Each structure stands twice: as structure tokens, then as C-alpha cells.
Amino acid sequence: LAVAVLASGNGSNLQALIDAQQEGSLSYEIKVVITDKHGARAVSRARESNIVAYEYAPKDYPSKADYEQQVLNCLNKHNIELVVLAGYMRIVGATLLNAFDGRMINLHPSLLPSFQGIHAPQQAIDAGVKVSGCTIHFVDEGLDTGPIIAQQPVTVTFADNADTLQAKIQKLEHKLIVDVVELIAQGRVKRHGRIIEII
Ligand code: GRF
């Protein structure tokens, strides 16, 4: 399965996908990394592993649709079949969504539908929940609202703050993202409307 990763920041989940791909014989291959943030660590991680990486700054384009068309052209050029949003800090618009409907997934650091949007770990701390976690879902036009593919829970203790919770969640994300991309690559993720079946 030809995979693209879109990332705006550190790219530790990208790294987890790269490491797993290099370690074992998996059914996916990361073909391209795209960032909207110049100098994002995700780009150097990609290049260190000889994966092509592109930096497209939205401000260099007249509109969001033009920016997304550039991203889409790049995805098509590389024959991408699945797009992974891994710390991509931008709401996906119609141009990309329509082209990759059902073929775009996102990682979110909470057990959705709780704590959508940014600062999910801080929201969990403020709410005093005792369990949080991470979610991987298909992307739809909403913010963190698409059909849920997989979730992993983590215990929240009194000692936790947003940073320690984020760190705990990221550990789980690094394994879950590899597992889910591999499941999709093996054709084992089936959609029944909003409900996902893993076969
Ligand atoms: C992850 O925690 C993910 O849940 C959120 O952004 C973070 C990205 O981390 N959407 P990284 O860039 O992969 O290290």
C-alpha cells in the first residue's frame, strides 16, 4: 500500500511508521511526506530515511483550495493510496477530502468523541477523567468526528499533567498507527457507514 504522511511538527509517529517498515516485512510503504510547516522535524526524519519530502506553505497559495490542489497533485504523482495525518495541524478541506474520501486517517490524543480539537490532553486533565487514550479514525469534514478505526486507553493519575499524559498517549500511538496502517494495507478494515469492522 502506497502511503503518504502529512505532518506539521515533530513526526514521532512518522518515525514509528518508518522504523516498523524498515524492521519487518510489512504491506505498506511510505512513499512521500508532506508538511505545511517549513523546517518541520518530520521532513528531516523522512530525508534521513531516503523518503521524499515536500514543504508547501499555505500562505504561498491564493486560497486553501489552491494549496490543497498542490498537495493533491503531489499525492497523485506518487500514486498514493492512503494518507495518514500524523500531527497535521490543519483542517482538511473539500479538495483533499473528496479525492481521498475513506482513504485518509487521523491520529488524535484522546478517546473520541471526548475532547475533540486541539489540546486534548489538557482537556482530559481539566475534566478529571481517569482514563484517556488515543484514537485513529477516518477523516471526514468535521474536526475529529470521522468513523473510529481503533482506540487504546491509558490511565490518568493525579500526578499527571498535560505533558506527562501526552507522553503516555504518544507511546501508545506509535504502536497503534503501525498496526492500523498495516491492517488497512492488508484489506482488513471494512466500513459499514460509521461503524468499522476489523476482519
Ligand atoms: C500526536 O499526539 C497526534 O495525536 C496529534 O499530534 C501529535 C503528533 O505527534 N494529532 P508527532 O508529530 O507524530 O510526534
ipTM of this predicted complex? 0.97
CB-based pocket (< 6 A), ligand 1: 7, 9-13, 86-87, 107-109, 170, 173
pLDDT on residue 33? 98
Average pLDDT over residues 163-181: 98
Measured distance CA(32)–CA(29) in Å, rounded: 9
Going from the Cα of 137 to the center of ligand 1, the distance in angstroms, rounded, reads: 14
Average pLDDT over residues 139-166: 97
pLDDT on residue 100? 98
The CATH classification number of 2-106+136-148+173-198 equals 3.40.50.170
Residue 87 has pLDDT above 90, yes or no: yes
Q: Which of 38, 78, 108, 174 is catalytic?
A: 108
pTM above 0.95, yes or no: yes
Average pLDDT over residues 124-148: 97
- State phi, psi for 31 to the nearest 5 degrees: -95, -30
Concerning whether 192 is annotated as a catalytic residue, the answer is: no
Residue 24 has pLDDT above 90, yes or no: no
Going from the Cα of 28 to the center of ligand 1, the distance in angstroms, rounded, reads: 20
Report residue 144 as a C-alpha cell. Answer: 475529529
pLDDT band at 110 (very low <50, low <70, confident <90, very high): very high
Query: pLDDT over 90 for what percent of the chain?
Result: 99
Give the residue, by CA position, lying nearest to ligand 1 atom 12: 11
pLDDT on residue 86? 97
Average pLDDT over residues 30-46: 97
* Angle between helical axes of 12-23 and 41-48 (0-180°, round to 10): 10
